[in-house]
Amino acid sequence: MNLESLNSQQLQAVCHSDGPLMVVAGAGSGKTRVITCRIANLIKEKRFSPESILAITFTNKAAGEMKERVRNMLDLRGASPWVSTFHSFCLRILRKHISELGFSNDFAIYDTQDQLTLIKQCMKATETSTDAFPPKTLLNHIGGFKNNFLMPKDLNLDEMPYGHQLKAADLYPIYQAALKKNNALDFDDLLVLAGMLFQEAPSLRAYYNEKFQHILVDEFQDTNAVQYKLVRLLSESQKNICVVGDDDQSIYRWRGANIENILKFENDYPGTTVIKLEENYRSTQNILKAAGSVVKENRNRKDKTLWTQNEAGSPVLCYRAKDEIDESDFVCQKIQSLNSDEGFSLNDMAILYRTNAQSRVLEDVLRRYGLPYQVIGGLRFYERKEIKDVLAYMRVVLNPSDSVSLKRIINVPVRGIGKTSLEKIERYCRDKGVTLLEGLRDNAQARLTTSAAGKKISQFLQMVDELDATFRQGNPLELLTEVIDRSGYGEMLKKENTRESKGRIENLNELFSAVEQSIENGEDSLQEFLDSASLVADLDNLDDERGVLPLMTLHTCKGLEFSSVFVVGMENGLLPHASSMSEPEEYEEERRLCYVGFTRARKKLFVTHARQRRIYGNIFNYQPSDFLLSIPGEVMTREASGFNTGIELNGKKLSEGSSKTPSYKKYSDDAYSIETKDGTYSIGTKVLHAKFGSGIVLNLSGNEENLGLEVFFKAPYGKKKLSANHAKLIIL
């Protein structure tokens, strides 16, 4: 084991002896190396048994890599440290000791679908309407209770706000009883029950406190309440706890992660040694300065400044595009140039975006350029379930013989056409040699199913006929609208009201843009559009010796690094996302998300924003992200498409081909702001409404006499369309 290459801070963290230790490890500062070297040092130099060391991380991949590194350092052949994720560790403990909580050791682990089935059974038993209370929403709330280490007995129903959360709290004990009856745990239970076990069994807790002489926790900023509790219970006697993390990279608040865990650690563990790893080995000076300038404006963070001995490197290039297609063209041209002229491999570059829906246009343009790509952490746009479902409706209308598409949609959304009924009709179709649709139409006369199922089938066929009438009278865009409305698909996603369903709605909105662009390109028939969508899968499988370009969300990219990174869609409403702009804590997380994206880049960083985007089939004007205002002019150059010639930045005209400006200021052209008697409204303007509270302007329409505003307000109100003349808004 060679420690000579470690810097002084890294060496201090590795060689720290006893007592609580917090390593604040900035992006690219070598934290994984520090953790593995510390484990190896504890075993080789401090003479601790490998089995007395517990290291916890957040992904199986990270755990596997950590094990391998330690093994290679020490040439371990026998016992090894406990290195695992939180869930794996808890499962291991529960398999041994869960009988103390009244479960059998051979308990089952329910996945998401199993959970959904069980909560529906609980709802049926309690006569709870699935229309009024979507099961997925209730499960999300129950998961939230568990992430905060709250069992049913810990909840005060009288203090709960009326609605989904209250109903979830009401069903929580019934759901848990059903799990226990089935001798089953859901995924969150692995953490919660392990926590309960250590909390309620002092002798067991004492045993594991003695067993684990040293505990290390990676990515500590991503821990939730129950994970924090687990760590405290396991380390209460030894206090040899080492946590490694970076509050500037805490980006999973929506998943239960609590940034306060790393901020309060020193208070909960008196005598904590704090070591800051501030030397970055990954990025150029310019990239670091740009990233640091964005995140340092957050108030809720530990003070630190990353630095590097690396070269200054190229300035960050900021491109102002006309629209999302121009933006994608710019990105593809740069990628081609970096690949052919500078030798960057495609798999060492990455395109990062805030929402999955943004990938659609990028994918379209990448295919046009012949650049092979892979969507990481999600499906390609046309392979996403909601897209395939909606397109299946359109395919059935176009080709009634398409039984595969018909079978996909017949009970999506759920219509009460069960598996048994469908099997009877399919058997009839095989015997008669008719299509599935013909078999469905014959059902009433042939009486293949029960009268109740027959009624549901008749309603489904009526909907198909109505869609067919729309198809014959209109264009693909009108048909798409009718599919989402008449099928109930759009309503289903709205009722779910989960982060996942909101993302699916965004993808469907993006599908509107895809269809409209297809029409504008002269592909105005449904057949042409569907053919174009079908070809995507074939082209996506291209195998190119240059490698494959990764596309992913900013949430997915943490822990990765690339020579060149493109962060697209840097506009108010996208990054920062509209849903965060009126909530200070969420807004700070958006800054951290931006910081994470920037610090994935080693050599070159490109950021882009579009003046206009097509959303929901309509053109919206966007203002550049406020985060760009934080970046010093000396580390960033700017380019704009030709349409922008003549606009002013910082009082100086930006002409085509000109890129350098001393600093970045909001654009002042009329497309972004409209002056009224009450003040000037722009996209991003913060306002106050007497009923809805504070909000942020997402879009403008009309003129100063008749100005329409789309404003995003805090929950529970969300997006509202208002008239500036009648809404009596106060500009903040």
pLDDT exceeds cutoff 90 at 546:
no
- On whether the pTM is more than 0.85, the answer is no
> Comparing 335 with 656, which gets the higher pLDDT?
335
Q: Considering the candidates 9, 31, 323, 603, report the single residue annotated as catalytic.
A: 31
pLDDT reported for residue 273: 93
653 forms beta bridges with 648
Residue 140 pLDDT greater than 50, yes or no: yes
Per the CB < 8 A criterion, the answer to whether 214 and 42 are in contact is yes
Q: How confident is the model at residue 471 (pLDDT cuts 50, 70, 90)?
A: confident
The one catalytic residue in 146, 408, 600, 614 is 600
Of 504-508, 565-569, 662-666, where does mean pLDDT reach its minimum? Answer: 662-666
Is there a catalytic annotation at residue 602? no
- With tokens 């790509």, the residue in question is 373
Mean pLDDT of the region 183-208: 90
Q: Which residues contact 160 (CB under 8 A, 6 or more apart)?
A: 166, 169
Confidence at residue 531, expressed as pLDDT on a 0 to 100 scale: 63
Q: Which of 186, 188, 189, 219 is catalytic?
A: 219
Active-site residue flag, 249: yes
Catalytic residue among 12, 32, 273, 556: 32
Which entry of 189, 218, 279, 710 is annotated as an active-site residue?
A: 218
CA distance 112 to 122: 15
Residue percentage of the chain with pLDDT more than 70: 90
Per-residue pLDDT of 395-409, as tens digits, reads 888 888 777 788 889
Mean of the per-residue pLDDT values of the chain: 83
pLDDT at 672 over 70: no
Residue 450: pLDDT band by 50, 70, 90 thresholds? confident
pLDDT at 616: 60
What integer is the mean pLDDT of 328-343? 92
pLDDT, position 330: 95
- Strand 601-610 relative to strand 562-567: parallel, antiparallel, unpaired? parallel
Question: What confidence score (pLDDT) does residue 170 get?
Answer: 92
Query: Per residue in 601-659, pLDDT tens?
Result: 999 999 999 998 886 667 778 889 999 989 998 999 999 876 443 333 333 333 333 33
Residues composing the chain: 732
Catalytic annotation present for 31: yes
Which is catalytic among the residues 137, 238, 249, 284? 249
pLDDT tens digit string along 561-584? 999 999 999 999 889 988 887 788
The pLDDT, as a whole number, for residue 113 is 66
Catalytic, 219? Answer: yes
End-to-end CA separation in angstroms for the chain: 59
Give the pLDDT mean for 654-674. 38
pLDDT given for residue 13 in this prediction: 92
Q: Can you tell me the mean pLDDT for 165-190?
A: 88
